[in-house]
Structure 1
Amino acid sequence: MVAAESLRSLEMALSLPTMFYGVLSLLLLCLVWWLLELLWWKPRRLERVLRAQGLTGTSYHFLTGDLKVEKQLKKEALSRPLPLRCHDIVLRILPFHYQNVQAHGKTCLSWSGPIPTVAMCDPGLVKEMLSDKLGYFGKPQFPAVGEMLGNGLAQQEGDKWAQHRKVINPAFSLQEIKHTTPAFSSCCEEMVSRWAECLRREGGTYCEVDVWPELSKLSGDAISRTAFSSSYLEGRRVFQLQSEQVKRLVSTFLTILVPGYLYLPTENNRKMHQIKKEIESTLRGIIGKRVQEMEDGITTKQDILGLLLESNMMKVEEKGKPCPAMTIEEIIEHCKVFYFAGSETTAILLTWTMVLLSMHPEWQVSARKEVLGLFGKNKPKYEDLSGLKTVTMILHEVLRLYPPVTLFKRKTYKEAKIGGVRYPAGVMVDIPVLLIHHDPDIWGSNVHEFHPERFAEGVAKASKFQGAFLPFSSGPRICIGQNFAMVEAKIALCMILQHFEFELAPTYTHAPHVLLTLEPMHGAQINLRAI
């Protein structure tokens, strides 16, 4: 009997490691199965579905897809600057997309790693997709970008996005934008004064200024004043921190694409998390002061923050309970996004406008004549900006040739049909704005020329197809700040033209490139002359 019990104990002791290794083997088998599904079976299944409907493009290569080819083409393209006055920048900025579209048509297939990606360059199909109100095509989620730069409208989907868009819309109405123009004019005056002082210091007929950082500072100051009014200096600090955060985040993406890498305790990651905490702490302090003012009965200031905080006091039904239309945490996230998006768009538009007007001085002369005829040397008034026909044509043509965002991405979260093709869930869609803006079939044989007259009768008649002008996207998710950016750009350009003539400095190199937006790689060196 003792022997039998000993035998059973021995069997149990032997079975425990056997069970452990059995479970471990099963888990490893499940992991291998999951990886094969993710990296091979699913991509091949989706590829068969798309090719069966007539889509052509590159074939899937295990794990990396077309990423290696795309990276190599981009590296080669960026190794050489462009000739001055050359606006044919597609091969430099989107070389892989250009080659794939040329080889396989305006709707074609490629691979972002194991994810099938369809490039869509037909304005009709793009308009149909961007007009989607049923949620078939959503914005792909990039958690690291949202965490470090802000989980605002750009990262939201569904009911939350619709609710917040409705709350934020009034802050960017034309009436509210009108209230911000004095603050923006003050920022422009400060910049013009700095440039005038530079001329005095130089003691000559001109001085060289890199206008890219100058215009970035201008737009950062402007969003600080218009968003936070009396907390302008604290707001400026947020802008500086957010600018550093963008550079650090982009440098990480350019070198390492390992999921979860941002959570490793590297020096750069620690610094990014410190910056994130300081941004949120500063914003929380600004908001706390404003909330206290509101509780003390002080009238809400007419700025973006005041309008957002009013939404915090509005109640909406959520799961049968009343709750704020927007929480303080959500307001903080939106403020972070406004700093990046609101400042980048205006700064980039103004920078490329000064570069192109330096390359094409005849248009600079025409624009200045219009500005002086309308305003003389007085500050531009919001009510009179609609009279700027030439300036508006120039800004639109700059946005066509050098759109701030050169590529939009969407993703199918459920099966969708567009243009006769059924797209299964899990397909990425690239909208190469730059390719559409530089397509001769849409804009004519002079597509790569700076030709503002094409917008003489407005955006709708500028091209052969409506919906082909996409600097701010289109449809329900069109950029909420587009009017804000255009008004700022008009005021700034008017004040620059009123005080200076400008041309490219000999040190300027024409090398547009993309970090998150389309920037001048080596700056934008301009020679200024006072008038």
Structure 2
Amino acid sequence: MKDLLLSLLLVVIIPLSCVVSTFVMENFFLLGFLALSSLFLYLFCLLWLKPQRLRWKLGRQGIRGPQPSFPYGSVPEMQKIQSGVLKKAAASSYAGEFVAHDYTSTLFPYFEQWRKEYGSIYTYSTGNKQHLYVNHPDLVKDMNQSFTLDLGKPQYVTKRLAPMLGNGILRSNGQIWAQQRKIVAPEFFLDRVKGMMGLMLESAQPLMKKWEACIDAHGGRLAEIRVEEDLRSVSADVISRACFGSSYFKGKEIFTKLRTLQKTISNQSVLFGVPTFGFLQTRKQKEVKGLEKEIESLIWEAIKERERECLGVEKDLLQSILEAAINDLHYVDKELSRRFIVDNCKNIYFAGHESTAVAASWCLMLLALHPEWQDRVRQEMDKVCSDGILTADSLPKLKMVTMVIQETLRLYPPAAFVSREALEETQIGHILVPKGVCVWTLIPTLHRDPEIWGSDANEFKPERFANGVFNACKVPQVYVPFGLGPRLCLGKNFALVQLKVVLSLIISKFSFSLSPNYRHFPAYRMIVEPGNGVQVLVQRLK
């Protein structure tokens, strides 16, 4: 009987299990097919349909541009144009006193080529991102005067810069950005910046002594000095003192790691915006992550140390921002307060340190080429500064050095772009920018437009600013070395005062000319800096 039941079970179960297995296998393949089809459809929509839809909306408004290829858009063409130009530039970098100031066709040749082909307004794509290039004066002016929160920082760019900037004021958007601006902006008002002039003068003294020692080592004669690292040291010391009340030496490790992180991120092109779907971290990504953690840890240690030291001490920039953050309802949470402070310290460090030092380097390069402007600055200082001492009262009267700085920032603005993303559909002049489109304005092209600045637009002529920015050109709203609109750089006053202090001190003590070893090679590493440094021949004034 048992054998009979067993036989019946085998007869029923085995065929049934085969049927179930066949059903499962068939459905497994079906589910796999559906999953792959869904993934393919998602990627197709993301990489092709979405940019094509945005491109169509722009095309309806008469905006054209290079034809994209799937899946990288205009990137292959950008890379092809760039590689050809870089080979020529590396072989013929300018030496000695021959310096051509128009570098846009070398650093951003695709933008210049497309501008000649399609005009000052055109569209192009990188991966799944659709871009709108806008260098028309009227539209830039309209952007300058717009205060909408619907134009924010491009998210694909800021995501790559997150290790460097966190979610601080340079990277955040919308209400988070507005809240941060409300807290940080008052700390950079002009009256407060003037109060930091003393520490700026103190920070510049080691540079003066170092250059004097270098001249003495050469028998009191000309000494060749590579200036950019010394200027970085001054700028870093100013930021350290302003934020933490500490010298540059205490924050040296932070700045060194920030510089390394900047170079590492710069090697990954943030302009092309090709989507990556890698789930495994590359060696470069691990390196960036490690540097990010180290920098944040060092900043937080400095913050805690500063908190212990600040009892009974005059408030510095960091303490003021910390108190404002804690008192604000959005930052009552300790972790949010910590995140806010660390992120904005990274922002202040990078923007206030690197950009100012680079701008000072370009100023010295141009002054070395034009010693007559060194003489003009000295003559004015003799008239304005009592006993040769620079003070907060005498600083606004130094018109010559102000004109030199303004002209340098016209020819060599550290920030090459104004970049925005339409977080919602936004009107800019006569153009309706669809949500998701990134808007790019190339600052050096605006600053060199002969129709705006005249036929001498590529020449160093500080006298064009003799009557201020609003009388320097036909459309003053296109002079945007510190950005434009509501996202104008908060550190503008800080940078300008620091530049005036450092340059005035250097010019009052030294005369200098460009070294024959100087090679003019502007390089884009998140900002436009001298790719081969700036070498000058320095002599002590009698």
Q: Per the shorter chain, which TM-score range? A: over 0.9
Q: Quick one: structure 1 residues 494 and 250, their matched pair in 2 at CA, closer, same or farther if it must change by over 3 Å?
A: same
The one-letter amino acid paired with 1:471 is P
Name the SS for the 2:329 alignment partner.
Answer: strand
* Contact 2:326 2:337 survives alignment (8 Å): no
Q: Which residue of 1 aligns with 2:297?
A: 281
**What is the CA-CA distance between 1:376 and the residue it aligns to?**
6.3
Matched, 1:27 2:58: no
1:331 aligns with one of 335, 341, 360: 341
Matched, 1:96 2:110: yes
**What is the CA-CA distance between 1:287 and the residue it aligns to?**
1.6
Q: Which residue of 2 aligns with 1:264?
A: 281
Name the SS for the 1:448 alignment partner.
Answer: coil
Q: Which residue of 2 aligns with 1:45?
A: 53
Structure 2: segments with no counterpart, 5+ residues: 1-7
Name the SS for the 1:276 alignment partner.
Answer: helix
Cα offsets for 1:338-393 (capped at 9, x unmatched): 11111112111111111111111222221221123322664411221110111111
* Contact 1:439 1:447 survives alignment (8 Å): yes
The one-letter amino acid paired with 2:478 is A
Name the SS for the 1:117 alignment partner.
Answer: strand
The runs of at least 4 aligned residues of structure 1 exceeding 6 Å deviation read 254-258, 260-263
TM-score by length of 1: 0.93
* Contact 1:164 1:325 survives alignment (8 Å): no
The one-letter amino acid paired with 2:245 is S
Q: Which residue of 1 aligns with 2:208?
A: 192
Matched, 1:251 2:272: no
Q: Which residue of 1 aligns with 2:4?
A: none
* Contact 2:240 2:246 survives alignment (8 Å): no
Matched, 1:465 2:503: no
* Stretch moving more, 249-258 or 385-394: 249-258
Cα offsets for 1:13-52 (capped at 9, x unmatched): 1111222211111010011111111222222222222112
| Number of residue pairs aligned between Structure 1 and Structure 2 | 524
Q: Which residue of 2 aligns with 1:371?
A: 381
Q: Quick one: structure 1 residues 492 and 260, their matched pair in 2 at CA, closer, same or farther if it must change by over 3 Å?
A: farther
Matched, 1:54 2:62: yes
Q: Which residue of 2 aligns with 1:134?
A: 148
The one-letter amino acid paired with 1:73 is I
Q: Aligned-pair RMSD on alpha carbons?
A: 2.3
Q: Which residue of 2 aligns with 1:68?
A: 76
Cα offsets for 1:443-501 (capped at 9, x unmatched): 11111111111111111121101311000012111000010000000000000001100
* Contact 1:107 1:121 survives alignment (8 Å): yes
2:419 aligns with one of 395, 404, 409: 409
| Bigger radius of gyration | 2
Cα offsets for 1:307-355 (capped at 9, x unmatched): 112124304268xxx6579602210111111111111121111111111
Cα offsets for 1:127-164 (capped at 9, x unmatched): 32244433332111232311244321011111111111
Q: Which residue of 2 aligns with 1:151?
A: 167
Q: After superposition, where does 1:309-458 map in structure 2 within 5 Å?
A: 309-316=322-329, 327-375=337-385, 378-458=388-468
CA distance in 1, matches of 2:315, 2:383: 32
CA distance in 1, matches of 2:26, 2:145: 58
**What is the CA-CA distance between 1:252 and the residue it aligns to?**
3.9
CA distance in 2, matches of 1:260, 1:201: 56
TM-score by length of 2: 0.91
Q: After superposition, where does 1:295-314 map in structure 2 within 5 Å?
A: 298-299=311-312, 301-314=314-327
* Contact 1:224 1:236 survives alignment (8 Å): no
Q: Which residue of 2 aligns with 1:116?
A: 130
Q: Quick one: structure 1 residues 285 and 263, their matched pair in 2 at CA, closer, same or farther if it must change by over 3 Å?
A: farther
Q: Quick one: structure 1 residues 405 and 365, their matched pair in 2 at CA, closer, same or farther if it must change by over 3 Å?
A: same
* Contact 2:82 2:109 survives alignment (8 Å): yes
CA distance in 1, matches of 2:414, 2:538: 24
* Contact 1:370 1:388 survives alignment (8 Å): yes
* Contact 2:139 2:429 survives alignment (8 Å): yes
* Contact 1:311 1:324 survives alignment (8 Å): no
The one-letter amino acid paired with 2:135 is C
* Contact 1:367 1:390 survives alignment (8 Å): yes
The one-letter amino acid paired with 2:202 is S
CA distance in 1, matches of 2:224, 2:239: 26
